[in-house]
C-alpha cells in the first residue's frame, strides 16, 4: 500500500432520474471534489465510476459505486482490496437524516442508521470505516422518509447545498490527510449559519 492513500466513496443511486435526489448527495460531494482538484475524467472501474490523483499530500482514489445503494459495499470492497487499503483508509460520503440540513459530521464506526448503502458497506468491509455524514434533515415522520430521501433538493435547499459542496471540495485535502476534525471545522466556518 502506498503511504497516505485514501479511498473516498460517494453513495448514491445511478442514473439521471436519481441525480438530484437528497440520497445522492454523496455522489455530488465526490463530483465536486474531483472537479476542484482537477482529477482525470471518471472511468468505469470497480462496478462504478472511478478517478484518482493527488489531493494535498495524499494519493486519493475516488469511487461512486454504479450499483444501487443497497449493493454499494461490493464496489467499495473491490477497490479497497485492489489498492490494499484498510477500512481506516476509507471515507464514505452519504446523506444523513439525523443531521440538520447542511451540517457535516465525520465519524468512524457505528451502525447503519437505516442507510442501506452504509449497511451494505458494513457487510462487506466491517464497520471501522469513516462516514462523512451530510445532513439532509428529517421529514418528521417515518412514512415520509422514503419520498424525502428519493426526492430532489428543492430550490431553497440548493441555496445552501452549493456552498456546502464547495466547502467540502475546498477542504478535501484535510480528509485525504486523515484530519477529520480540521475538515469539519473548516467546512463549518465556510458555511456560516449552517452550524450551531
Contact (CB, 8 A) for 27 and 10? yes
Whether residue 23 lies in the annotated active site: yes
Query: Which 3 state secondary structure label does DSSP give 33?
Result: helix
Contact (CB, 8 A) for 129 and 121? yes
Bridge partners for 157 per DSSP:
none
What are the grid coordinates assigned to 194, written together?
Answer: 449552517
Give all strands (DSSP E) within 22-73, no chain letters. Answer: 43-45, 48-55, 58-65
CA 107/CA 131 separation, integer angstroms: 5
Q: Give the Cβ contact number of residue 75 at 10 Å.
A: 24
CA 5/CA 177 separation, integer angstroms: 9
Q: In the β-sheet with 130-135, what is the strand arrangement from edge to edge?
A: 43-45, 48-55, 58-65, 5-10, 90-96, 130-135, 104-108
Q: Looking at 23, 37, 94, 130, which residue is catalytic?
A: 23
- Active-site residue numbers? 23
Amino acid at each position: 500500500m502506498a503511504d497516505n492513500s485514501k479511498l473516498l466513496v460517494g453513495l448514491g443511486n445511478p442514473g439521471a432520474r436519481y441525480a438530484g435526489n437528497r440520497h445522492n448527495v454523496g455522489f455530488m460531494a465526490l463530483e465536486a471534489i474531483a472537479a476542484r482538484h482537477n482529477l482525470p475524467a471518471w472511468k468505469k472501474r470497480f462496478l462504478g465510476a472511478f478517478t484518482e490523483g493527488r489531493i494535498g499530500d495524499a494519493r486519493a482514489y475516488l469511487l461512486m459505486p454504479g450499483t444501487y445503494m443497497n449493493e454499494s459495499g461490493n464496489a467499495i470492497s473491490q477497490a479497497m482490496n485492489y489498492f490494499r487499503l484498510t477500512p481506516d483508509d476509507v471515507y464514505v460520503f452519504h446523506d444523513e437524516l439525523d443531521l440538520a440540513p447542511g451540517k457535516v459530521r465525520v465519524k468512524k464506526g457505528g451502525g447503519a442508521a437505516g442507510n442501506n448503502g452504509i449497511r451494505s458497506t458494513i457487510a462487506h468491509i466491517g464497520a471501522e470505516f469513516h462516514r462523512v455524514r451530510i445532513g439532509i434533515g428529517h421529514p418528521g415522520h417515518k412514512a415520509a422518509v422514503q419520498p424525502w430521501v428519493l426526492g430532489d433538493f428543492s430550490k431553497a435547499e440548493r441555496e445552501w447545498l452549493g456552498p456546502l459542496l464547495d466547502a467540502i471540495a475546498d477542504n478535501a485535502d484535510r480528509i485525504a490527510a486523515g484530519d477529520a476534525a480540521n475538515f469539519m471545522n473548516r467546512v463549518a466556518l465556510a458555511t456560516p449559519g449552517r452550524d450551531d
